[in-house]
Structure 1
């Protein structure tokens, strides 16, 4: 679970801390961590109530029928493609860092896209999923190297307990934190793989404690020593040599995690297209060609997204607002309301939980609406300045 969820989101947290201030930043990280722990628990309860559920689309069908399943399927695939775009963008940032902007940024993004596409050609998820542990160790090692180096170098050891950001900047910083807790799409399948699904809460608690601790330490330490001008991704905040070393190590996450995400998304499309036909199990030119075409189209769209939204935080914020708001908060609130229909006022405890889950749905709508506004405004401002879409300029 940790290997699947801890990825690029952690790299934006120090810049969020710089925008929000040390105290509000810590409160929001812990607060969102607590809320997503609860929503993750609701996912587990929904799975126990409806054992046939294996993903968010299955759960959505129970909520609203076939049309709700199809909408959720499309949303899942779009979320995967945007995440793939974030990995393509990060690959171009990495290459610009390693080569001192050796060539056009678009060329680097094309190279990253082709590399990821080739690695996604295998239809067997077992051949790539075990690399998730390598991916997780890769980003953890890169972050640790960056923290130690920045702690020694102390480029700007100024910190502010409280800042006064604009509504747009404050909301954008909060979206980065929301994205860091966006692993809920994989929770149903993870619980299905457990020998005893009732052990899921233990795994969930271990996961949430681990990632919240990692997020807090990373955000606090890097902000404490890199100062209010900390960059995003955070690996850029260290010295030039250390940044190159950290990015070189993080290539495992940048490439492998993107490949796994594409594989899961392509599987959703493939199963949706060929469910109930011999194409699901046969090994033929037609079935393999269909897989290659699906992954190719997904990576092309991801490349377009990476170049259309060339700012790391803007792209992550778009994903958090449009998709993670629903997959981490809104749907879970609806799951609980579905399971407890007719019991909302049966006891004080139920009344409190009813209020909490209605709040989660309202929070989801707020994050989605305000988040899309803040992200759209930020993209427009950046496009008017140095970060233009489809530009050869250095994005590191």
Structure 2
């Protein structure tokens, strides 16, 4: 895919040997950040929009925070009680709290990188700046694959919710199809502005569903207090349990796209702080309360361990989040390709037949692929784990370290600038190593579990009713 006359990272390449005299210190000072509010900023993803039919830069930080909450605090949250069961309450809570703080730090580094490089629209663009054309294709392709798999995961969550609500009175495949249609319709808007208002309902629904689930666990407990405080287990089981909270924070791959459609990108960190505080606090409370009242052997997702009535109520309340967050994921996959094809062309901002035709095709392809992956691949759940390990581990954690090293080098005067900030240098090297560890460990644990499941005959058949 070749972009129209424009290449991400082009401005940086022209200035690689002319570092900014103002600099950015430890990447937090404002004097080195471009003023993205200036009208006519040439290097911005969408440029000046005042006289265009379709305007993208409409989001406030509050709406971006809601969208982040909707796509991150979603069905992944429902696996956290089982993670506590696998490693114990104390280690589980420590991991969740640490990952929340870690994700906040990497959010900050990612946002600072975006403010310095307003031409960056997605992880592919960032990959071009860091690693050249090959990096662009790998990180852009990874974003698309992960977004489609995440959409498929939400389709399966919706399928399960509808199956529970109906007492399995309709073929599960039909429920997946119904949910895919709803996801497709919601993802169809060309801009994120319309999705942002839907996300208010999506974010509220998962929070309310979680509160109701905790109430249901308390009202009809299974084995209250019969929990592990700390538990030793084998590496694959422990690591998979730990990766549940790891990937419960895995929304950073969308951040560049969200920030690109903000009115004032400098406010992005406010949205990130809101997300991480709410997510971390809610994850801890939800996982501990649910695990305490359900006890050992809690299911994943945990709503299946509730009494039938409370399970139905909780699943019903969560449904809006499942299809709205799925819409955000499929929209992300389509938007990346669309902007790549038409950046700086009239099809981006005008109601052209070509623009709407390609956009429609991309949305249909993204959601159709998610549906086929979800119901047609027997190992889909393991595929999600593999793609999360390969890509989300880097997008959420590891790449942030590379962003800091790159910008410190180019904006502060070369390798010596790294060692002038020894604490930041150490933290960001650790961030890269952490991304590598999560990637390799996650791949090993997921593939090991896949082999075990295949040997035990536990893989489901494709397109199973």
The verdict on a shared fold, with TM-score over 0.5 as the criterion, is yes
Does residue 338 in structure 1 map to residue 378 in structure 2?
no
Q: Which moved more, 1:21-30 or 1:350-359?
A: 350-359
The 5 Å alignment of 1:294-309 reads 294-308=362-376
Q: Select 1:43's aligned residue among 86, 110, 135.
A: 110
Partner SS for 1:25:
helix
Instruction: Indicate if the aligned counterparts of 2:257 and 2:332 stay in contact, CA closer than 8 A.
Output: no
Unaligned regions of 5+ residues in structure 2, if any? 1-64, 410-414
Q: Which moved more, 1:46-55 or 1:147-156?
A: 46-55
Does residue 27 in structure 1 map to residue 89 in structure 2?
no
Instruction: Indicate if the aligned counterparts of 2:402 and 2:428 stay in contact, CA closer than 8 A.
Output: yes
Shift of 1:23: 0.9
Partner SS for 1:77:
helix
- Matched residue pairs, number? 391
Which position in structure 1 is the counterpart of 2:31? none
Which position in structure 1 is the counterpart of 2:445? 374
Summarize deviations over 1:181-224 as a string: whole Å, max 9, x none.
Answer: 12222333455566655544444333322211011001111111
User: What's the C-alpha RMSD, in Å, of the aligned pairs?
Assistant: 2.4
Which position in structure 1 is the counterpart of 2:435? 364
TM-score by length of 1: 0.90
Instruction: Indicate if the aligned counterparts of 2:146 and 2:388 stay in contact, CA closer than 8 A.
Output: no
Q: Select 1:224's aligned residue among 292, 296, 300.
A: 292
Partner SS for 1:229:
coil
Shift of 1:374: 1.4
Note closer, same or farther for the CA distance 1:251–1:224 as it changes in structure 2 (3 Å cut).
same
Summarize deviations over 1:346-376 as a string: whole Å, max 9, x none.
Answer: 34xx223222222221221121122122112
Does residue 125 in structure 1 map to residue 197 in structure 2?
no
The 5 Å alignment of 1:1-396 reads 1-4=65-68, 5-157=72-224, 158-192=226-260, 197-308=265-376, 314=382, 317-341=385-409, 342-343=415-416, 346-347=419-420, 350-383=421-454, 384-390=456-462, 392=464
Note closer, same or farther for the CA distance 1:219–1:344 as it changes in structure 2 (3 Å cut).
farther
Unaligned regions of 5+ residues in structure 1, if any? none
TM-score by length of 2: 0.78
- In 2, Cα distance between the equivalents of 1:87 and 1:310? 16
Instruction: Indicate if the aligned counterparts of 1:274 and 1:280 stay in contact, CA closer than 8 A.
Output: yes
Greater per-residue helix proportion: 1
Shift of 1:238: 1.0
Runs of 4+ in 1 over 6 A off after TM superposition: 310-313
Summarize deviations over 1:221-264 as a string: whole Å, max 9, x none.
Answer: 11111112111122212111111111111110111111122112
